[in-house]
Structure 1
Amino acid sequence: MNMKISMIALDLDGTCLDSRGEMTDRTRKILEKYGKAGTEIVFTTGRPIAGILKELRSIPGTNYAIALNGGLVYQLADNSIIYRKSIDKREVMLVRDIVLRHDALTDVASGGLGIGDKKTYDRAENYIKNDDFRKYYLSSRGSKQNLWENLEELESVEKINMFFSDMDDRRKTLEELKILKTSKVCSGMPNNIEINHGEVNKGNALKWLCEKLDIDISELIAFGDGGNDIDMIKTAGCGVAMANACEELKEISDIITKSNDEDGVAYILERYSLA
């Protein structure tokens, strides 16, 4: 494997972070090596920007980050938004009506900030069983009383997120969401639903960023595990699926590596010529 790597795009949960939500020393060291050599390290996540933690931003080469599945691109030096795609306000209202009929832990992202609905935010343990991920989730979002009844107060909504304890209820919600015309519905985890503007995906955001930085897309290697990584993996010059990835992602990837708990990202990057 001797492709030129000018950018490494990395999903976080289930990809470059292990099951505890942490990056191992082995993965960090290989990313630092690439970053110091001039490679752009771009964390490309469904999380809001607050979810890209300080210890990740300190890795050399992390000048930009893609959040909310590609709804926002950040320049990390000054934490400024350099690219944004918001959900149509009429469709936000349609989603609100659907959300209020179901039992789900819900939040919206507005201007990059995650805001949870207090009624379910205070019962997050019912919807997110992994203690480490739940701790991250609660720490990266505030909560608002009657969020869904007061959506008009928000200037924009870049993403809507739902976590379900009842998978049958999730299935019914997905059916109802088919009414949306200009929004995209996907999933980053088995029990969640994520909604963005229809043109938003990690692949499109990466194309935009590569063009801005004058990087040929063939020099991009991307790593992911979930359904919200499909466009990114298709876009990259080399798309890598983790061993723990969903089957749909594995089917369209160029390489399947080891799992996120086996340093699958490092396993691949160590085998390229720079390493």
Structure 2
Amino acid sequence: MDRKILALDLDGTAVDDSGKLGSLSKQALIAARQKGHILCFVTGRRDVDMVPLGEDDRFADYLILNNGGKIISTADGRILKNELVDKEEAKILISYCLQKDYLLYILSGMYWAINKITPRTQSYIEELGIQPDLYHSLADVEYDRIEGFTVTSDGKEVSAFLDRADLNLEYVASEPTCIDIMKKGVNKWNGLKALADSLAIPVAQTIAVGNYDNDIDMLTHAGIGIAVQNALPDVKAAADYVTLKDNNHDAVAEIVEKFMISPSS
């Protein structure tokens, strides 16, 4: 049997609306690993955003975080890839958001910083149980290893700025009220392809699963692209297969059974 990589988006795909893997999904992932397949979670989340997942990340062999910018082996915590934002370009974006009073999350590993606290950020602080740094000027920011940024309430304005600016940055919507900003060229497919190459697994043996716009590139380039039933219409249109079940009803179990456990796999 040829090994396959199953690359699962997390929010709205592998996990339910409460942010947890269903019991049937867990059983299916264990079965897929026992068959020798490789499992990875491919997400826009940063390291700090993985905290609410708890120990559920142990069901994957690899984590591809930051929309493809960072690859971590769950077995030993090794970082296999990490794309960082240029310091000077980071300063330009941060300066713009400070000037306009736009909320900008700065993220790198377990470090996160924000320039103001809103009811939404306060709620997230309480969920994580990790206090962010609060910055009010460029002097307050750690620039050495910025992995990316997130914008919530001011996404439209910040994305318009990035469209005008000549920066080596790009953005993608990861949910309706959230855009993630990364180094140009970072996307989920490039992250998955880098992992597949490092494991000498052909693209034809990759299966990518998602539900949102930032998953489309991964779905269209993988050997098989799958959209879960609750995916956006344009994501379904880009997929080779659409599950019968949604993220709240263990779509992952359906995928594993159909594409990885069947005798033909």
TM over 0.5: yes
The worse-fitting range, judged by mean Cα deviation, of 245-254 and 183-192 is 245-254
1:155 aligns with 2:144: yes
* CA distance in 1: counterparts of 2:156 and 2:115, whole angstroms: 24
1:262 aligns with 2:249: yes
Cα RMSD for the two superposed structures: 2.5
* CA distance in 1: counterparts of 2:100 and 2:206, whole angstroms: 40
Instruction: Tell me the residue number matched to 1:172.
Output: 157
Q: Residues 2-81 of structure 1 correspond to what in structure 2 (within 5 A)?
A: 6-52=4-50, 53-59=53-59, 62-81=60-79
Tell me if the contact between 2:215 and 2:235 (Cα under 8 Å) persists in the aligned partners. yes
Return the offset for 1:119: 2.2
**Aligned amino acid, residue 219 of structure 1:** Q
**Aligned amino acid, residue 163 of structure 1:** T
Q: Deviations over 1:209-237 (max 9, x none)?
A: 11110111111111111222122112210
* CA distance in 1: counterparts of 2:110 and 2:220, whole angstroms: 28
1:116 aligns with 2:113: yes
1:186 aligns with 2:176: no
Return the offset for 1:27: 1.0
CA spacing shift, 1:152–1:118, aligned 2, 3 Å: closer
Instruction: Tell me the residue number matched to 1:131.
Output: none
* CA distance in 2: counterparts of 1:266 and 1:189, whole angstroms: 24
* CA distance in 2: counterparts of 1:34 and 1:11, whole angstroms: 17
Q: Deviations over 1:25-72 (max 9, x none)?
A: 11111111001111111011111234444422332xx32211111111
Question: What is the SS of the residue equivalent to 2:175?
Answer: coil
Question: What is the SS of the residue equivalent to 1:34?
Answer: helix
Return the offset for 1:152: 4.9
Return the offset for 1:273: 5.7
Instruction: Tell me the residue number matched to 1:233.
Output: 219
Tell me if the contact between 2:22 and 2:249 (Cα under 8 Å) persists in the aligned partners. no
* CA distance in 2: counterparts of 1:254 and 1:226, whole angstroms: 15
Unaligned runs of 5+ in 1: 129-133
Q: Deviations over 1:231-257 (max 9, x none)?
A: 211221011112222333222111122
Return the offset for 1:125: 5.8
CA spacing shift, 1:97–1:219, aligned 2, 3 Å: same
Return the offset for 1:138: 4.3
* CA distance in 2: counterparts of 1:236 and 1:90, whole angstroms: 34
CA spacing shift, 1:193–1:140, aligned 2, 3 Å: farther
Question: What is the SS of the residue equivalent to 2:248?
Answer: helix
* CA distance in 1: counterparts of 2:136 and 2:200, whole angstroms: 41
* CA distance in 2: counterparts of 1:125 and 1:49, whole angstroms: 17
* CA distance in 2: counterparts of 1:229 and 1:10, whole angstroms: 10
Q: Deviations over 1:146-205 (max 9, x none)?
A: 1653365331211101111xxxx4323221121143111101100011100111111011
Tell me if the contact between 1:70 and 1:200 (Cα under 8 Å) persists in the aligned partners. yes
* CA distance in 2: counterparts of 1:266 and 1:228, whole angstroms: 22
Q: TM-score, normalised by structure 2?
A: 0.87
Instruction: Tell me the residue number matched to 1:242.
Output: 228
* CA distance in 1: counterparts of 2:260 and 2:79, whole angstroms: 34
CA spacing shift, 1:80–1:180, aligned 2, 3 Å: farther
Unaligned runs of 5+ in 2: none
* CA distance in 1: counterparts of 2:48 and 2:78, whole angstroms: 13
Return the offset for 1:102: 4.9
Question: What is the SS of the residue equivalent to 2:17?
Answer: coil
1:222 aligns with 2:222: no
CA spacing shift, 1:7–1:267, aligned 2, 3 Å: same
* CA distance in 1: counterparts of 2:43 and 2:37, whole angstroms: 19
Question: What is the SS of the residue equivalent to 1:150?
Answer: helix
Instruction: Tell me the residue number matched to 1:201.
Output: 187
Tell me if the contact between 2:104 and 2:115 (Cα under 8 Å) persists in the aligned partners. no
Tell me if the contact between 1:107 and 1:114 (Cα under 8 Å) persists in the aligned partners. no
